[in-house]
Amino acid sequence: MTDLVTWAELGGGLAAIGGAAYARHAHPAAYWSTVGLPLSVARLLASYSSTMDACGLTVEPSRWRALAVRATTRREVRPVPPRRGVIRPNSTGLRVRLRLAPGQEPADVAASAERLRHAWGVHAVYVRDVKPGVVELRLVGYDVLRRVRSEDLYHYLLDDHVLPTFGESDLDEITAPLVREWRAERLRTTKAKTTTAKAYRLLKSIMETAVDDLIKRNPCRIKGAGKEKAAERRIATVAQVDALADRLGPRWRLMVYLGAYGPLRPEELAGLRRRDIDVEALKITVRIAEPERTNGRRAPGDTKSEAGTRTVFLPEFLRRELRLHMELYAGKGADGLVFLGEKGAAFRRSTFGRKWRKARTVVGVPEGFRFYDLRHTGHTLSTRSGATLKDTMVRAGQSSEKAALIYQHSDDERQQEVAAGLDATVRKARQDAAAVPEPDTAHPDDQRSGTNLARDN
């Protein structure tokens, strides 16, 4: 009986640990509210003084304080950390304000953010200058942007970027200079240009709803502040795409070609089933996307946008590649995955990533060239084959620039014409490459994206 109780207690403990680990990865928000928050608060309270001392954020006590400590407790006088305020939890983390000692700067605290994150077991620590001598620590409990939905993203932007500055202000107190100062502070402390742009857009949309009724003019008037600027996409040549496919081997050749000439997104390739492939018609139906989470598990769901659910017609030169892959490497049955790892299971992003980086190095494409960048090769070649901007958007599953394209159409027949043009373009490029050595430097137009080229047509 005693052994049975012991085993039951041990099993219960292991089950609790396993359940907590599962919740942390599968339901991080629930884990934070029930487990992570109490643990982080306990660690902060228990180790606050020692952590601040280890980070060099303490000062020597005043003479009167030292005398008082010696007289009342007879303990050793220790350095004094910044005075800590009330800990205020929220849905994604917690906040606490610190009153700095004379001579201490907010930059000193910001420089220790990574050590504080590690000491208190949170995902990230941000430091905000509230007023002279006072800073606020924002501790983020988990990666709130992992497979985040729009509603979750808005809550995160409000809680961690907008409300800490403007939450206690009346609408008419939010002025253009204050918005400029807030944006500059966000960029300076977070170094996250994309997140700052999202937060600015959210604030601007909120303030816009108050115009006329509550305020006279929107204070968010910084030109270009809400735009997420990306660098010009790299374009691989046809010869480089072939070399990458050869280097990765027969199991992954088709993935490279579909990434370039589909052009399909990585998560769309991961979600392809045998029933989505029509070898005779050279047609692929994209129905779902399966992005891989940071814990290695896939998260099947809708495509990136409504435009992502589409039919893609492939160029004729891929017929042999498609048939061989479906015969040798695709999973069995209608629901069998098209792309499987060497052991017959769904491939892992990390495993394929290692293969990709090795192939990239051998082939000689730039170090920062991602598998996703293959899409821009196909996008550009489709444009050069005569496709309109609407054609390339339908083919790539893009939904932007709707207003400019509302009166243009691209049906299945037109998509087959695009595939035929792409086939001719790639075949000609391969023939030219075989006849004439490829120059060391590409023509400037080769580095332009398909979208920009289509706009010029």
User: Vertex 428, ends 424 and 431: CA angle to 5°?
Assistant: 145
CA distances 150 to 10, 32, 46, 309, 399, Å, are 42, 20, 36, 19, 17
- Look-up of token digits 């939010």: 174
Q: Tell me how far apart the alpha carbons of residues 167 and 158 are, in angstroms, rounded to a whole number.
A: 9
pLDDT of residue 338: 94
| Domains observed in the chain | 2-61+81-210 (3.30.980.40), 238-456 (1.10.443.10)
**Which pLDDT score is estimated for 220?**
93
Contact (Cβ atoms closer than 8 angstroms) between residue 383 and residue 374: no
pLDDT tens digits for range 86-141: 999 877 788 999 999 888 888 888 888 888 988 888 888 888 888 888 999 988 88
Beta strands in 332-379 (DSSP E): none
Stretch (H or E) spanning 127 = strand 124-131
The reported pLDDT for the residue numbered 331 is 92
Handedness of CA 375, 378, 381, 382 (dihedral sign): negative
- For 61, which DSSP code? P
Half-sphere exposure of 391 (CA within 13 A, CB side): 27
Q: What is the pLDDT of residues 29-81, one digit of tens each?
A: 778 778 888 888 999 999 998 898 888 888 877 766 666 656 666 666 678 88
Higher pLDDT, 374 or 59: 374
What is d(CA 388, CA 410) in angstroms, rounded to the nearest whole number?
Answer: 9
Instruction: Assess whether pLDDT exceeds 90 at residue 176.
Output: yes
Q: CA 407, 445, 360 angle in degrees (round to 5)?
A: 105
Q: Strand, coil or helix: what is 93?
A: strand
Three-state secondary-structure class, residue 214? coil
**pLDDT category, 148, cuts 50, 70, 90?**
very low
Q: State both tokens at 169.
A: 């202000």
Number of residues that this document lists for the chain: 457
- Pairwise CA distance, residues 266 & 290, whole Å: 9
Mean pLDDT within 267-273: 92
Confidence of residue 444 (pLDDT cuts 50, 70, 90): very low
Distances (CA, A) of 292 to 146, 248, 305, 310, 331: 10, 21, 17, 21, 19
149 phi, psi to nearest 5 deg: -95, 165
